[in-house]
Amino acid sequence: MHTGCRRGYRATWEVERGRLFLGSFSARLANGRFAGPTTLFESCSDQYLADSGVEGPSNRGLGCFAFWFSGTLRCPLGPLLHYRHMGYSSQYAAWLELVFEGGLLTGQRVIDGRTAFDESSEADES
C-alpha cells in the first residue's frame, strides 16, 4: 500500500443488474498480513452469510454482492473542471449519484457539477 492511499485499502466497485458488487479489495492489516475480499467475511458465520443472500443466484456477479452497503455513491462524469489536492472536492462537469439500500440500487440522478458543489453553497451550509 502506498502512503498516499489515505483510506488504507484499495477497492473497485461494480454495478450490475441494479446491484452493487465489491469487485476487488486489497489492504495490509496492522500485523502486516495481506487482506483480500475473503478476509472481510472470515469472522462471519455461514448462517449469517446464507441469510444475507450474498451467495444467492441473483447476487452472483462481478464480485461479492455488497449487501452491507446502504447510502449514496457519487461518481464524477465528464471533464475535470477544477482540481483540489487531497480529499474529494475536485469539481467535474457532472456527477452521477447512485442510491443503494442493502446493496440494491434504489435511485439515481445526474447533477450539474458546475453549480452543485461550488464554494459559496458550501459556505452557506456551515
pLDDT of 59: 67
pLDDT of 71: 96
b/e per residue 12-33 (b: at least 16 CB within 10 A): ebebeeebbbbbebebeeeeee
Q: What three-state secondary structure class fits 32?
A: coil
pTM, two decimals, is 0.71
The amino acid sitting at 54 is V
Mean pLDDT (the chain, rounded): 80
The pLDDT of residue 5 is above 80: no
**Beta-carbon contacts of residue 104 (< 8 Å; ≥ 6 apart):** 18, 19, 20
* Beta pairing class for 19-28 and 9-16: antiparallel
Q: What three-state secondary structure class fits 108?
A: strand
Give yes or no for a contact between 54 and 65, defined as CB atoms under 8 angstroms apart: yes
Query: How much of the chain, in percent, has pLDDT values that exceed 90?
Result: 31
pLDDT of 23: 86
62-78 average pLDDT score:
90
Helix ranges (H only) for the chain are: 46-52, 113-116, 119-125
**Residue 102 has which C-alpha cell?**
442493502
pLDDT of 100: 97
Per-residue pLDDT tens over the stretch 113-122: 877 655 544 4
